[in-house]
Structure 1
Amino acid sequence: MASRIVSVFGATGTQGNAVIHALLNDGTFTPRAIVRNPDSDAVHKLKAQGVEIVKGDGLKKDSLVDALRGSEAVFGVTAPIFPLKEEGEGPNELVWGKNIVDAAKEVGVKFFIWSSVPSVKKISGGKYSNVIHYEQKAAVEEYLQASGLANASIHLGGFLENYWKFNLLKKTDTGFNVAVPHFSATDCQAFTWVEQVVPATILALLKNYTDPSKNISGKTYPLVNANISYAELAELTGKVLGVEVTFTTAPAIGMPAMDEMYKSHAEYSGLYTATPVPNSDLVALGVKFGTIQEFLETEVKPRFG
């Protein structure tokens, strides 16, 4: 029987890497990592674990057609290309994402999962119009939904893993501090434990997309493990670590796209207030959402304790 290949983008990043390992551990599907640089150390580690490595450049559709050939499904994710550029101004996520969709359609991919975020411009009624990387991901999502491919999108909040991946949890003389621009102590954020809930969701969608009764195609699934303030997250962190963990409002970044991103999340409580926590649609598919307490005990305490 032919392998059920799932081509994964961002295979060395937080999302894609977690998806690759979930596919390996589950065994139902065969992961294929689509990478720009097959000679990096991170890619060599994947290859040593038995992952098929295929070179593909997201900005060159023809290379993606060859890379995706034979895939049953695709997990698509892009990262901001700095300096951020609008459509027509240079390389950007909109071109990258559309190329993945077009290539997937050309080779007959049966199901496409897109990692996205909502349009902040739409949510704010035009108040925040400079969050280019969000707008481009959202535009790719609309393009995918109009493509004719069976599809689903996931929307992510603030990555809990940023505690160590972006040094958000900083050591102080008395413990630690969490500093975030534009957030007050009472503003809520939608937090996503990426390495826990993203792979669980991707597996659930892949295993159920062929069942019409599940009504998966065309849906968008926000993934929120908790919707709380950074100050509350800091307090919970302190209890687990047994030290003082404070929250402070960091200075503005000075880049309109990033400052408006933080402002919009603060103003609209993380953007996903219409979705129950945990997402009941995904719970119905068997997805289990880890709690903040579990995240702190299993991920933060071993690293910072």
Structure 2
Amino acid sequence: MAITKALTAPLFTVVGATGGQGGSVVRALQASSLQYRVRAITRDASKPAANALKELGCDVLEADVKTADGVKKAFDGADIGFAMTLTDFTSPDFAEKEYAEAVLQIDAAKAAGVKTLVWSGMPHISNISGGKQSVAHFENKANVTTYARSLGGLKVIDVQPGTFFSNFLRHNAPRKLEDGSFVLTMAANPDTKLPVIDIDADYGKYVISALENGSVDTVLAAPEYITPTQVVEAFAKASGKNVSFTCVPDEQLQAILTKVRGEVPAVNMVAMFRAVREVGYYVGADLAPSNKILSTPARKIDEMLAANPKGVAELFA
């Protein structure tokens, strides 16, 4: 195991260690050929996920990284850090709040003398597309990357996660029709290119591979681009069911999301789908360089489904 208590090993602080991205980073550290001491940050050190991290050899630290005291505790003495924030659309000023939370982490890491900080960022859609499209929560995270790199003396690796495979089993799962068939509905075209990643299994691979490679500073964390047509074909193959795809107009999606989740998330999610359709999630960037650094390949859609038989069975019951 690469997770150790040896003081000669670098101390790696992982924010959000009991969540999808942070948890994946910890598992990738465990699989590494190099040794690390791991400080796993959580808001509740008593929950089962935190106990599981202790069993892996992590030092589990209870800290609220939305506070000055919390981030100081989190990064104190660390050599390497993984920082992330979750977008909370419940507030109209979500972007300002999330930016402030991210800067709090980055400033604490810098003050603590962290040498390398891996940040879960996103592409700046507006800048890259020449203003053709804009996605506020993507660009907010991109602005954090710019801020972190402006500080100097802190190496920043920006690992941008693709669209989560888990969404296809939960929020955006195929739904059953009266005739027993299933339909996947999205505000996308049948040939829209989606960079789908199994966050739990593979995001950490990109983080640790980038860290240990040492020559990359921006990573697009997804194995390949696939289309909604390919997604439903994979679902049909895995389930043995008839699965089709239907494009939902932006106006219809916004009305549905406004009713279910509120106006702010509705507006931002529709903007994201529009940008993905028209300029691309990563604005057409090649995924090959990011995947070449991996020692073991990330799962593709068929493998993602094969690794989640219970979720697939429940979805198509």
Is TM-score (shorter-chain normalized) higher than 0.5? yes
Structure 2 unaligned residues grouped into runs of 5+: 1-5, 259-265
- Which residue identity is paired with 1:99? L
1:273 is matched with 284
Match of 1:146 among 139, 146, 150: 150
Q: Could you tell me which residue of structure 2 aligns to residue 160 of structure 1? A: 165
Q: Please name the residue that 1:76 is paired with.
A: 83
SS of the residue corresponding to residue 81 of structure 2 reads strand
CA distance in 1, matches of 2:63, 2:19: 16
Give the Cα separation in 2 of the matches to 1:223 and 1:160. Answer: 12
Measure the CA separation in 2 of the matches of 1:269 and 1:100: 29
Question: Which amino acid in 2 is paired with 1:242?
Answer: G
**Aligned twin of 1:232:** 230
Offset at residue 35 of structure 1 (A): 1.9
Q: Distance in 2 between matches of 1:157 and 1:69?
A: 30
Cα separation, 2, equivalents of 1:52 and 1:293: 35
Partner Cα distance (1:260, 1:167) in 2 = 16
One-letter code aligned to 1:143: Y
Aligned AA (1:192) = I
**Where in structure 1 are there 5+ consecutive unaligned residues?**
210-214
Classify 1:30/1:85 alpha carbon distance in 2 versus 1 (closer, same or farther; 3 Å).
Answer: farther
Instruction: Report the Cα distance in structure 2 between the residues aligned to 1:25 and 1:286, rounded to whole angstroms.
Output: 11
Structure 1 residue 258: deviation in Å?
A: 1.5
Equivalent in 291, 300, 315 of residue 291 of structure 1: 300
**Which of 236, 240, 243 is matched with 1:242 structurally?**
240
Q: How far apart, CA to CA, are the structure 2 residues paired with 1:228 and 1:280? A: 17
2:35 corresponds to 1:28: yes
The counterpart of 2:19, out of the listed 13, 30, 37, is 13
3-state SS of 2:307 partner: helix
In the TM superposition, what whole-angstrom CA distance separates every residue of 1:140-163 from its partner, at most 9, and x where no partner exists?
Answer: 111111122012111122111222
Q: Which residue of 2 aligns with 1:134?
A: 138
Q: TM-score, length-normalised on structure 1?
A: 0.85
Q: CA RMSD in A?
A: 2.5
Match of 1:59 in 2: 66
Q: 1:49 to 1:169 in 2, by over 3 A?
A: farther
Within the candidate set 273, 294, 302, 1:262 is matched to: 273
What letter matches 2:14 in structure 1? V
Report the structure, 1 or 2, having the larger helix content.
2
Matched, 1:190 2:190: no
Residue 126 of structure 1 aligns with an amino acid whose one-letter code is: G
Q: Match for 1:269: what amino acid? A: G
Kept in 2: contact 1:190–1:269 (CA 8 A) = no
Q: Deviation of residue 49 (structure 1)? A: 4.3
What is the alpha-carbon distance in structure 1 between the residues aligned to residue 35 and residue 283 of structure 2? 31
Label 1:285 to 1:239 Cα distance change in 2 as closer, same or farther (>3 A): closer
Instruction: Give the 3 Å change call, closer, same or farther, for CA 297–285 of structure 1 in structure 2.
Output: closer
Query: Does the Cα contact within 8 Å between 1:84 and 1:133 map onto a contact in 2?
Result: no
Equivalent pair of 1:187/1:266 in contact (CA under 8 Å): yes
Q: Confirm or deny: 8 A CA contact 1:113 1:152 kept in the other structure.
A: yes
Cα-to-partner distance string for 1:151-186 (whole Å, 9 max, x where unaligned): 211112211122224352434452433222x21223
Q: CA deviation at 1:231?
A: 2.1
Provide the rounded CA distance (Å) in 1 between the counterparts of 2:39 and 2:182: 39
Letter matched to residue 288 of structure 1: P
Q: Answer whether contact 2:16 2:41 (CA < 8 A) is retained.
A: yes
Distance 1:302 1:175 in 2: 19
**Secondary structure in 2 aligned to 1:101?**
helix
3-state DSSP class of the match of 2:120?
strand
Partner SS for 1:71 = coil
Specify the alignment match of 1:303 in structure 2. 311
User: What residue identity is the alignment partner of 1:65?
Assistant: K
2:109 equivalent among 104, 111, 120: 104
SS of 2:246's equivalent in the other structure is strand
Aligned to 1:212: none
1:202 CA drift (Å): 1.8
Contact 1:72 1:109 in 2 (8 A): yes
2:127 is the alignment partner of 1:122? yes
CA distance in 2, matches of 1:24, 1:165: 28
